[in-house]
Structure 1
Amino acid sequence: MISQKIALTPQMVKTTLIASAAGAVVVLVLQPEHTSSLPILAAYGLWVTHLFFGSLLFLSGVAGFQRLGWPRPWPTIVSTLLLPILFGCVSMALDYGFGNPEEGEQEAATFLGLLRDEIVAITPASFVIAGALIYLLRGEPSPRDTLVSPVSPDAPKTVALRSLIATAPAHLGDDIIRIHAQDHYVEVVTTQGRSLLSEQFGECVEKLADLDGIHCHRSHWVRLSHVVEIKKKGSAYMCLLSNGDEAPISRRKYAEIKTRMRALVAARVDA
């Protein structure tokens, strides 16, 4: 079952589209009868859109139920069971949009009859899509790849940001999440917003030395109390922060940040 948090970020949507485009090639190689009468490009476009929307519907369902606080594995189970119904509606619209309704659909007397037949026809494909996504996103996050920080109202009290970085605008507040270098500027991100400052990144890191943060990458510093998760992304490690941002972790910093995160978690538990 899917154990990680799902968020429909632009990157995930892009990845889903690329995977759908690749999957459509595989489907066409199998020469399905459903699109045998269509020109090759139209058939390819139909399968790409089917796979793309089917995947998005499933991922949206899992993400939505996770946000509602449903415990594992219910977001995955319910999303899988609902997918044929939701995907059936989308599939029927796509088939008619591409001028390729299922044979025999004209014999159905009502819209509900058409929808019922479409749901029955699309159910196997729906379960294949759900199964593929579950496989790709499967697994229990291991302590090696994932650490969760108890970001809560009991997090360490903030220090006045402007007392540390004098050029920080007042509207940013004091609860800093991260900073990172951008050319000759430093972007400061807080719970109230973000701003580019004409500062040296190294000097800012020194000024923030008394906070519970870490210089996790050559051009990134993060506040440990705002790290929600540490996960592996491809061959690299990333910090997922409380505002949804991600920051890279260099390989030489991974062991240190893992140790400090565990110490922070232990301190919260003892408190």
Structure 2
Amino acid sequence: MKLDQVAVSAGLIRKVLLAALIGAGFILVLEPTHTENVPILAAFALWFTHLFLAAALFLTGVLVLQRFRCPDPIPAIASGLVLPIPFALGSLVLDYGFGNADDDLQAAGTPVSVFLNEIVTITPLALAVAVAMTFLLRRSPSDESALQTEGQPKEFSPSLKQLIHSVPSALGDDIIHLHAQDHYVEIVTTEGRALLSEQFGDCLDKLENLNGLQCHRSHWISLEHVDSVSRKGSAYTCKMSNGDLVPVSRRRYAELRDKVDAAFTNARRQ
């Protein structure tokens, strides 16, 4: 599972809460000097809040970088490196809020000095949280539903790049059609198009579980993006959602027509 598939969901929040609870308990077992004079329940709450805040900030960074289509693993690395800065600010607020401000920090002098000292102090914890979150998200293939947005199907659907590794990440996962061109394959998605150094037959094998059809010896289309199917004389064409016209072979026309009609009928029933 790639980290760039992360999406906010109730399942993901539960994961973060559970990890923060376990982490807070582990830290208390180590008896850190920072909370040695704090009642155990207050100390547990303080460490839990720290860990949950760090995890939330890390995931926020990953999600923001996803919006800019940064390829994996850049979102995880960049978020982990930047994490100590916002986490230091949140940590200071929490420490003062719990009445547990560090004497060494209070003696540091100016607010800027206090903030810089806090960054140095919490950086190991911030990086540990970033590594733990990355490991947690990458090592949970049995719980893919926790990384899906609400309302999506529960079954796991691999990304387009997982199916065809040479597909640029910027093209996203919503494929419209494929076209064989000599020794290359042109792939068209809702985000753009690109030429891949792939065999057309190999691509068809990798896409066999998607809702698509090889409508011509050198063309494959996604049935979800078919706008219309038409016949003009002896030529058959399929108009896709992006306006592209794809040829349809005579022997595939009836099958495609039936599938499109069935999809239209099901849509009307829903």
**2:16 aligned with 1:63, yes or no?**
no
Shift of 1:106: 2.0
How far apart in 2 are the matches of 1:77 and 1:63? Answer: 13
Specify the alignment match of 2:151 in structure 1.
245
Aligned residues: 170
SS at match of 1:133: helix
Shift of 1:11: 2.7
Shift of 1:62: 0.4
Residue 112 and residue 12 in structure 1: after superposition, are their counterparts in 2 closer, same or farther (change >3 A)? same
Amino acid paired to 1:246: Q
Contact 1:239/1:246 (CA < 8 Å) preserved in 2?
no
**2:216 aligned with 1:267, yes or no?**
no
Residue 45 and residue 78 in structure 1: after superposition, are their counterparts in 2 closer, same or farther (change >3 A)? same
Specify the alignment match of 1:93 in structure 2.
93
Shift of 1:47: 0.5
Residue 240 and residue 41 in structure 1: after superposition, are their counterparts in 2 closer, same or farther (change >3 A)? closer
SS at match of 1:22: helix
How far apart in 1 are the matches of 2:58 and 2:147? Answer: 23
Equivalent runs, 1:40-189 vs 2, <5 Å: 40-138=40-138
User: Which structure 1 segments of 5+ residues have no match?
Assistant: 140-230, 251-257
Amino acid paired to 2:209: R
SS at match of 2:83: helix
Contact 1:62/1:75 (CA < 8 Å) preserved in 2?
yes
> What percent of counterpart residues are identical?
38
Specify the alignment match of 2:23 in structure 1.
23
Residue 49 and residue 264 in structure 1: after superposition, are their counterparts in 2 closer, same or farther (change >3 A)? farther
Contact 1:4/1:137 (CA < 8 Å) preserved in 2?
no
Specify the alignment match of 2:267 in structure 1.
none
Shift of 1:248: 3.0
SS at match of 1:245: coil
Instruction: Please list the CA deviations of residues 170-223 of structure 1 after superposition, one character each: whole Å capped at 9, or x if unmatched.
Output: xxxxxxxxxxxxxxxxxxxxxxxxxxxxxxxxxxxxxxxxxxxxxxxxxxxxxx
How far apart in 2 are the matches of 1:38 and 1:2? Answer: 40
Contact 1:20/1:48 (CA < 8 Å) preserved in 2?
yes
Instruction: Please list the CA deviations of residues 3-53 of structure 1 after superposition, one character each: whole Å capped at 9, or x if unmatched.
Output: 341222233223211221121111111111111110000000000000000
Contact 1:239/1:247 (CA < 8 Å) preserved in 2?
no
Shift of 1:91: 0.4
Residue 109 and residue 2 in structure 1: after superposition, are their counterparts in 2 closer, same or farther (change >3 A)? farther
TM-align CA RMSD: 3.2
Shift of 1:264: 5.7
Tell me the TM-score normalized by structure 1.
0.55
SS at match of 1:104: helix
Contact 2:6/2:147 (CA < 8 Å) preserved in 1?
no
Residue 240 and residue 127 in structure 1: after superposition, are their counterparts in 2 closer, same or farther (change >3 A)? closer
Instruction: Please list the CA deviations of residues 219-247 of structure 1 after superposition, one character each: whole Å capped at 9, or x if unmatched.
Output: xxxxxxxxxxxx9543xx76998x75222
How far apart in 1 are the matches of 2:211 and 2:147? Answer: 16
How far apart in 2 are the matches of 1:240 and 1:132? Answer: 16
How far apart in 1 are the matches of 2:84 and 2:66? Answer: 20
Residue 239 and residue 27 in structure 1: after superposition, are their counterparts in 2 closer, same or farther (change >3 A)? closer
User: Which structure 2 segments of 5+ residues have no match?
Assistant: 157-206, 223-245, 247-270
Contact 2:108/2:114 (CA < 8 Å) preserved in 1?
yes
Specify the alignment match of 2:7 in structure 1.
7
Instruction: Please list the CA deviations of residues 60-117 of structure 1 after superposition, one character each: whole Å capped at 9, or x if unmatched.
Output: 1001101121122221111011100010000010011111112312222211111001
Amino acid paired to 1:267: W
